[in-house]
Structure formats: structure tokens, C-alpha cells
Amino acid sequence: MPRSETRLFPALLRHWRTLRGLSQLDLALAADVSSRHVSFLETGRAQPSREMVLRLGATLSVPLREQNDLLRAAGFPDAFADPGLEGGLPPGVARAIDRMLAQHEPFPMTVLDRHYQVLRTNEGGSRLLARFIVDPGALPTPPNVFAMLFDPRLVRRFVVEWERVARTMVARLHREMLAKPADAGLAALLRSLFEYPDVPEDWRQPDFSTPSDPTLTARRPRARIPHDADGVQCAAERDARGTVPRELFSPGRSDREGVRTDRARHLGVRRALLDAPRA
């Protein structure tokens, strides 16, 4: 095993143990191993077996994708498949997503991956996105929520108090990077945001002093609409289990398709985050 890998597993194990707030003795008791062995694993004096890596990962409630990272760091192949839309989802998951997209019509719904790329939308979602894109030719493939928010050629000009919203979203990325330090995609996404114009450099430093406001307000690009009906509010909130975000979409007028959206004050629109596999 390369020397760099022998050093990586102890660091990852110590990171997850610390993140869960456990001492070496706590982890040893929970995993039914000796505290001396845990100590030797964290200092690199002992090499774990594949079964030990999986036992410790399960004890620490490490997500399955990160358990694969632990296995690779210890010199073992992945144990858990990482399916995506391109490679084909399990049939039950694919049917559930299809049904959710269809059932939410005519209201918008999007399917995102863990890096905020828009993988699928229903027809309502496609119509909503089309209304707030300044230059469709600048839209990346696949579309990315953060790119749309930060690129002046996309949605940025329609967002009310853009600087406040953008800073909140950057703080969210910082939090997710702290929770998933091995996720290179999140780090690359954060770096890409500072390539857009007028993004302050001091946002590179995490700032969690301001609580996150769950509401985003965007001006509809139709000048003839009165100001008091001129808004789209999207509020992201977690359900009781904290697993599936929901968004509230409450425009003030009906759209051109004749859908009377103003009859409902609060219309729940679920956004499915495709982040398989999960623990």
C-alpha cells in the first residue's frame, strides 16, 4: 500500500470520530473492539481489515459514499455502488421520482444531485426556469443552481437583495464542505463562484454569524405587472425527518397557461435531492 494511503485512513478515522463527538474508548465500546486497537488504527501502528473498516464506518454512522472513501484509504475496493441517472437508478427509485414529477404538475419540481446540478425537471419547473434566464446560451449543461444564482447572464439580476442571498448560499456551501471534507465536487463548486464578477473575496472565509434566511425573492421579468404582485418566493425547509427539502412557491398572478396559482396561498413543491447512496 502506498505510504500516502496508510496515512490517510488514520486521519479519516480520527476525523469521523471527532465529528461524532466520541472518544477512542467510546468508539471502542460501541464497535466492540479494544480501545488500544482504535488507538493503533488512528496512529497508523495497525492496519485495518476490510471488515473492521466497515464496522467502524457503520458505528460512526458514516454515509455510504464516505465509507467507500474509508475503504479506498485503507487499500480496499468500494463496497457500495454509486448509481446516477446516467448509469440507471434502481427501478423503485426511478418510478418514485417519475411519479413525484408528474404529480406536482403544473407546479415546478426539480431533481438535484449533491452538487446542486439540475438533473431533471417537470414541465412546470422548465417553464419557471425559462422565465428567469437572461441568456439561455449561457446556461451550463447540466444546469447548476449556484451557477444560475451567481452568473449575471442567468438568474442573478432577478433576485431581490442578491448579495444577502448569495452570501447565505456561500455559507451553506462552507457548512457542507465541513461536513464532507472529502467531497472534491463541493470544493470545486465553491471555488467556481469567485470567478463571477462582483463576488467579494472575503466570502472565501466561512462566516456562520448570520442565521440563514430560508426565503428567496425574485422579481418576475414582466414590467406591466404591478409591484405588489411582482414576486416569487421560494422557502426551503426540511420536513420532520430533515431528509427531503420542500419549497413553497407562491406567485401573485396566474401564468399564461391559465393556471390560477393565486388561489393557493401556500403551495408545497417538493424538490428531490438525488444524493444516492445514503446511509
Question: What values do phi and psi take at 232, rounded to 5?
Answer: -130, 125
What residues pair up with 249 in beta bridges, in sequence order?
234
Question: What values do phi and psi take at 179, rounded to 5?
Answer: -75, -25
Q: Please name each of the domains of the chain with its CATH number.
A: 3-73 (1.10.260.40), 91-132+220-274 (no CATH)
Give the three-class secondary structure for 196: coil
Most confident of 27-41, 228-242, 258-272: 27-41
Query: What's the pLDDT tens digit per position in 152-203?
Result: 999 999 998 899 999 989 998 988 887 777 788 999 999 999 999 999 998 9
* Rounded Cα–Cα distance for residues 55 and 41 (Å): 13
* Rounded Cα–Cα distance for residues 128 and 42 (Å): 50
Confidence of residue 267 (pLDDT cuts 50, 70, 90): very low
Q: Name the one residue in this structure whose C-alpha cell is 430533515.
A: 242
What residues pair up with 159 in beta bridges, in sequence order?
218
Query: What's the pLDDT tens digit per position in 4-35?
Result: 455 789 999 998 999 899 999 999 999 999 99
Question: What values do phi and psi take at 73, rounded to 5?
Answer: -65, -25
